[in-house]
Amino acid sequence: MRISLLFAIILGATNGILCQNASAYNVPVKVETIYHFNSSVSLEKLAIRKSGEAIVCFDNSADIYQVDPDLINGSVRHIHTFEGYLTAHGIVEVEDDQFYVAVSNLSVWNHIDVLGSPSIFHVNMTGFPEHRARVREVAHFPDSRILNAMEVISKETGLIYVGDSALGVINILNVNTGHHYMAINNSYTTIYPLDSGNGVYGIHLFQPQNESTKYLYLSNFKQGIIARVPINPESGLPVGEPTVVVSNLTSVAEFALDKEGNIFAALFSLNQFVRVDHETNEVLVLAGGRNIDTYTKAVSVVFGRTESDKGQLYAVTNGGFTALHNVGAGLFRLDTQDMAVV
Ligand SMILES: *[C@@H]1O[C@H](CO)[C@@H](O)[C@H](O)[C@H]1NC(C)=O
Ligand SMILES: *[C@@H]1O[C@H](CO)[C@@H](O)[C@H](O)[C@H]1NC(C)=O
Ligand SMILES: *[C@@H]1O[C@H](CO)[C@@H](O)[C@H](O)[C@H]1NC(C)=O
Ligand SMILES: *[C@@H]1O[C@H](CO)[C@@H](O)[C@H](O)[C@H]1NC(C)=O
Ligand SMILES: *[C@@H]1O[C@H](CO)[C@@H](O)[C@H](O)[C@H]1NC(C)=O
Ligand SMILES: *[C@@H]1O[C@H](CO)[C@@H](O)[C@H](O)[C@H]1NC(C)=O
Ligand SMILES: *[C@@H]1O[C@H](CO)[C@@H](O)[C@H](O)[C@H]1NC(C)=O
Ligand SMILES: *[C@@H]1O[C@H](CO)[C@@H](O)[C@H](O)[C@H]1NC(C)=O
């Protein structure tokens, strides 16, 4: 990143073509299609295993699949079907290869969900695919509607955040005991204007390099914002007022933060993946566009984890599953290594 930025600055100074700002990055970025699902699959979330494989959560059935990003085509394996549920909307890893998946009853066709249907399951991926994933229920959420975003507060204590996008609140769950409660409900997690739709969508902890305060960053789909609230790193509870970090991010779904606090986000209805600069707030379109159907319904992003994947951004789209023109859900890899500090 440093080298290319410096290069751009020198170029800009010498011939005046490029400028000394984030727009000097080469966009659209290079994108590889890792896997294109058929039109009977809608995707929602993804996670990356330590060994580099992606785990994708289906939106139109409670299935999770593994996709090997190094084997284009023919690289998809079924991991598990959660019987008795209609959708798998959230995933987080607590210890190595120990994932927690949120499932519930939501119809992707009419977007009607069932209050009290969500549960969270532990999915032990150790040894997969040689050994089957071992799956057990951790907690049932009788007061919840659609559990979506998940983030680890502490591996040691087993505390995680679990967002409810339909209620517009964030819960805290202890994955070891199953105990959970509603922890955060503020003007930026809620659905506003108050009708149907999604409120809080993605949630990620971040500690700025120059500060001792830890923040919970959250995207709000309906409000089109990313906000943050300072938290107590042990309990996960807020210790101050929430503030907006960036607004006018139409239908922002999942996002990822790099070490500097630059935000990489999926803008669902704009079919775009964007980068928001942590200093200037400049929004740079990395790939896609309103009328470009390659990335129809951009929904989730996460950084790669292996050495060879450093600065690569994995991304999924749902393909416009319920639209007349369904292009099929996709898993992509965006080359963001020049602009992400990971
Ligand atoms: C960045 O550079 C571009 C290209 O020259 C220019 O159009 C844009 O206004 C600049 N943006 C900022 C925030 O300085
Ligand atoms: C679509 O893909 C899924 C997941 O790979 C598979 O289970 C299903 O059989 C496929 N459906 C069709 C019609 O090919
Ligand atoms: C993967 O499969 C798709 C659809 O069958 C095909 O168009 C594409 O060329 C294949 N990619 C590779 C790398 O084989
Ligand atoms: C969820 O949907 C499945 C399949 O339709 C059904 O068997 C199950 O009882 C539903 N659960 C709840 C809590 O509504
Ligand atoms: C995961 O499964 C492996 C193999 O069965 C087992 O040794 C390990 O204890 C399990 N881990 C957890 C956290 O359940
Ligand atoms: C969140 O807070 C608002 C405002 O106080 C309240 O109206 C709403 O019922 C709360 N949501 C839940 C799920 O308790
Ligand atoms: C940390 O740095 C950011 C910009 O890089 C700045 O906006 C912020 O005020 C700094 N915070 C502290 C506590 O110095
Ligand atoms: C909001 O973002 C859109 C692009 O998504 C842009 O066209 C518009 O000018 C922005 N509005 C404001 C007020 O910044």
Q: How confident is the model at residue 48 (pLDDT cuts 50, 70, 90)?
A: very high
d(C-alpha 279, C-alpha 276), whole Å? 9
* Whether residue 213 has pLDDT greater than 80: yes
**167 CA: nearest ligand 6 atom:** 13
Q: Which residue type sits at 302?
A: V
d(C-alpha 78, C-alpha 257), whole Å? 29
- Least reliable range by pLDDT among 14-18, 172-176, 233-237: 14-18
One DSSP character per residue, 157-205 reads TTEEEEEETTTTEEEEEETTT--EEEEE--TTTS-SSSSSS--EEEEEE
d(C-alpha 37, C-alpha 318), whole Å? 9
- What sign does the CA torsion over 332, 335, 80, 74 have? positive
* Whether residue 227 has pLDDT greater than 80: yes
Buried b / exposed e over 40-66, threshold 16 CB at 10 Å, is ebbbbbbbbbeebbbbbbbbbebbbbb
Indicate left, alpha or beta for 142 from its phi (over 0: left) and psi (-120 to 50: alpha). Answer: alpha
Q: What is the pLDDT of residues 277-287, one digit of tens each?
A: 999 999 999 99
Q: How confident is the model at residue 9 (pLDDT cuts 50, 70, 90)?
A: very low
User: Measured from the CB, is residue 88 less than 6 Å from ligand 6?
Assistant: no
> For the chain, first and last CA: distance in Å?
10
Q: Smallest Cα–Cα separation from 249: which of 230, 276, 228? A: 276
DSSP character at residue 309: G
**All domains of the chain in start order, with CATH:** 2-335 (2.120.10.30)
Q: What is the pLDDT of residues 74-93, one digit of tens each?
A: 689 999 999 999 999 999 99
Q: What is the pLDDT of residues 300-328, one digit of tens each?
A: 999 999 999 999 999 999 999 988 889 99
Best probe residue, ligand 5, of 126, 138, 155 (max atoms within 8 Å of C-beta): 126
When pLDDT is averaged across residues 55-76 and rounded to a whole number, the result is 90
Q: How confident is the model at residue 15 (pLDDT cuts 50, 70, 90)?
A: very low
Best probe residue, ligand 1, of 23, 25, 27, 283 (max atoms within 8 Å of C-beta): 23
User: Measured from the CB, is residue 166 less than 6 Å from ligand 6?
Assistant: no
**95 CA: nearest ligand 5 atom:** 13
Q: Smallest Cα–Cα separation from 282: which of 14, 4, 67, 20? A: 20
> Percent of the chain at pLDDT above 90?
85
